[in-house]
Amino acid sequence: MRINIVPALIALAAGSHVAVAAAETGPAAQKLAASPESIAAEKVVVIQNIVVTPAGNLGSADGRHTLRLKGLVGAGYDSNIYATEEDVIDDYYGRIMAGFESVHRYNDSFSLGTDVLLDGKAYADNSDRNFVGGQARVKGAYKGEAITGNLALDYLLMDDPLIQTGERIKRSLYGANTVWVREMATGGIVVNADAHRTDYLEDQGGFVAEDNNYNSYVAGVRYIHQHNERTALWGRVGFGADLYDNDNRFQDVTSVSAAVGGDFALGDRSTAFFEAGVDSRTYSDEFAPTYDDDSVIAPLLSIGLFYPMNTQGDVLKLRAFTDARNSFTANAMQVVGGEFDVRHRMSEQVTAVINLSQVWLNDYGAAPGEDEASRSTFTPSLAVEYAMKDGVVLRGTGRWTISEASNSTEEDYDRTEVFVETAFAF
């Protein structure tokens, strides 16, 4: 039986550095982790989370070569560009993105995919926030009778908000990752490895950029039992390490995790998934004397629902999760979050998207007699997409962020963002 590895690979990525970056930075990093050849197979292009049906085909007639050009032009308003509680500064900005995706299939077994996207943003009054970045990925894939695998090299330069402070900090992420699947009669084994480098390009809060630069290494193995085409169970173990350039503020960490999970059908259309486990993290020292956080055992949990409400394209997605990540104010913090996302197709060309996101952060360490630092961030958003024609999608978005910190030197902040984007693909 050929196993359905898509849910398995999504869950597999949960322990990777790229996935953590995606959780912190949104669509840019999530797109970095996507497969160029899978996008090509679906005959769509995704840019800034906007799905565009290309207006033409620049590939070969036999389908062995696929080339798609893509771009985005946008303008927006940010009511709090520095995510501060006092002396709030707002500004308007313009944004341009341009790039391409290509896939070359050498034969039925080997393919090479490339995804390049340049990203530029310019502010009206605060030129220090102007940004030129983007992403690049080259991915080789192999597909055999029983073994499927890929090896990818990637680079990402971004300034998306940090999950713990809301600040837009310029940083780069580059490295390599590989995933291999050995399919068997009733399931399969998935092996992954990931090595990435993160460099902060500007200071943040109470530390200089160099203090937060580090190398990240992840490896894991998962066994999947495929009960049928829509139901699978799995168990996994993972190993990881974050090694910082210095110990001025952060401590090196190694982690071992184990979890079980599955995805299964609910009725004719819906799919649910779950994963539960534990993450044991060992740091080289306490974050600060008396914090008693050099060893942390954290729960892992992820549950979700994908529900196509009808055949017209209305979709409901729900997700809740908890995991552990490195913190700016202790060695580690527990992250608990939930997300509600619904897409309603108002007409053949117009779609409304409502998203509600809530995240709680709580440090695992604190000085004696003090409570652990924590933060609550609520982010509702509303977007309307208008597919003008093949190759062009217009989207208007309003997003609000309410973030409150407790027992911490970090600041509360509120942020209102309104932006209009036009995405193109050919």
Q: Where are the domains of the chain?
A: 6-54+73-89+144-425
Query: Quick count: other Cβ atoms within 10 Å of Cβ 188?
Result: 25
**Cα–Cα distance list, 226 to 185, 222, 230 (Å):** 9, 13, 8
pLDDT in tens, 320-330: 999 999 998 89
- Distance between CA atoms of residues 180 and 142, nearest Å: 9
List of long-range contacts for 121-129, beta carbons under 8 Å, 24+ apart = 121/93, 121/94, 121/95, 121/159, 122/93, 122/94, 122/95, 123/81, 123/91, 123/92, 123/93, 124/91, 124/92, 124/93, 125/91, 125/92, 126/81, 126/89, 126/91, 129/81, 129/91, 129/93, 129/159, 129/168
pLDDT in tens, 70-89: 999 999 999 999 999 999 99
Query: Quick count: other Cβ atoms within 10 Å of Cβ 372?
Result: 21
Six-digit token pair at 32?
């970095």
Helix H or strand E segment including 171: strand 171-184
Q: Which fold has domain 6-54+73-89+144-425?
A: Maltoporin; Chain A (2.40.170)
**Cα–Cα distance list, 63 to 34, 102, 107 (Å):** 20, 11, 11
Give the torsion through C-alpha atoms of 245, 246, 247, 248, to 10 deg: -130
- Distance between CA atoms of residues 166 and 24, nearest Å: 10
Residue 409 has what pLDDT? 67
Name the band, by pLDDT with cuts 50, 70 and 90, for residue 288. confident
pLDDT in tens, 53-75: 888 878 777 778 889 999 999 99
220-244 mean pLDDT = 92
What number of CA atoms fall less than 13 Å from residue 294's CA on the CB side?
Answer: 7
SS3 label, residue 328 = coil
Write out the E strands in 79-166. 91-105, 110-123, 131-143, 147-158
Residue 328 has what pLDDT? 87
Closest CA to 193 of 158, 222, 213: 222
DSSP-derived secondary structure letter, 38: H
Location of structure tokens 């993450």: 279
Whether the CB-CB separation of 314 and 307 falls below 8 Å is answered with no
User: Which of residues 270 and 175 earns the better pLDDT score?
Assistant: 175
Q: Name residues whose C-beta falls within 8 Å of residue 264's C-beta, 6 or more positions apart in sequence.
A: 227, 230, 231, 232, 271, 272, 273
Considering the chain, what percentage of its residues have pLDDT values greater than 90? 63
pLDDT over 60 (residue 189) = yes
**Cα–Cα distance list, 239 to 181, 253, 316 (Å):** 18, 11, 33
Closest CA to 397 of 414, 425, 424, 421: 421
Q: How high does pLDDT run on average in the chain?
A: 87
Whether the CB-CB separation of 331 and 311 falls below 8 Å is answered with no
Residue 313 has what pLDDT? 82
pLDDT over 80 (residue 204) = no
Whether the CB-CB separation of 179 and 12 falls below 8 Å is answered with yes
**Cα–Cα distance list, 363 to 7, 164, 291, 301 (Å):** 30, 11, 10, 18
369-376 mean pLDDT = 90
pLDDT in tens, 111-164: 999 999 999 999 999 999 999 999 999 999 999 988 999 999 999 999 989 888
